[in-house]
């Protein structure tokens, strides 16, 4: 899959599906990730307290301009999810402990998470090692969407 160079990012809360969906693609610079992060946080404000919800991040076609950009994105996702009581299985146990001790919890709870990325080898490996009833990794957006819609 060729990577589109123009960055694109979106986030949308669907109250009916109880789904926070976000997408980013293209060659992302720090500013793009920061703007995407703000979109996700703004959409998350729409989640009513006490709601159990699903989170789907589609990053197929995403590339980072440099390692600092990638590190910034990789830091945000676990912290964001941890703030809703969801701790990614891919994290080392000491990182989960750190998040539990440093991130304040929201009054809603993320119950399910799906991630989609175009690198099928990496995603297959992640899903094989860490995929479970509440967390899955995909390299096909249709499969990811079907799974998150049906949990």
Angle of helix 93-102 versus helix 67-82 axis, rounded to 10: 60
- Tell me: the pLDDT tens digits for 31-76? 999 999 999 999 999 999 999 999 999 999 999 999 999 999 999 9
Residues 118-135 as b or e (16 or more Cβ within 10 Å = b): beeeebeebbeeebeeeb
Q: What is the DSSP code (8-state) at residue 132?
A: B
Instruction: Give strand pairing partners of 23.
Output: 10, 58
CATH code of the domain made up of 8-150: 3.40.50.10600
pLDDT tens for 98-146 read 999 999 999 999 999 999 999 999 999 999 999 999 999 999 999 999 9
**Both structure tokens of 78:** 């676990």
How far apart, in whole angstroms, are the C-alpha atoms of residue 94 and residue 98? 6
Q: Where are the domains of the chain?
A: 8-150
Contacts of 47 (CB under 8 A, 6+ apart): 13, 20, 53, 106, 108
**What is the radius of gyration, based on Cα positions, of the chain?**
15
């Amino acid at each position: 899959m060729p990577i589109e160079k123009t960055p694109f990012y979106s986030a949308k809360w669907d109250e009916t599906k109880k789904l926070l969906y976000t997408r980013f693609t293209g060659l992302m610079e720090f500013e793009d990730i920061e703007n995407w992060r703000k979109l996700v946080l703004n959409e998350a404000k729409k989640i009513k307290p006490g709601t159990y919800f699903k989170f789907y991040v589609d990053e197929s076609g995403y590339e980072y301009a440099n390692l600092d950009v990638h590190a910034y994105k990789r830091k945000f996702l676990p912290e964001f999810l941890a703030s809703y009581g969801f701790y990614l299985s891919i994290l080392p146990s000491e990182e989960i402990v750190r998040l539990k001790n440093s991130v304040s919890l929201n009054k809603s709870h993320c119950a399910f998470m799906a991630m989609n990325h175009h690198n099928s080898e990496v995603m297959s490996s992640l899903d094989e090692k860490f995929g479970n009833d509440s967390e899955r990794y995909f390299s096909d957006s249709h499969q990811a969407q079907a799974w998150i819609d049906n949990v």
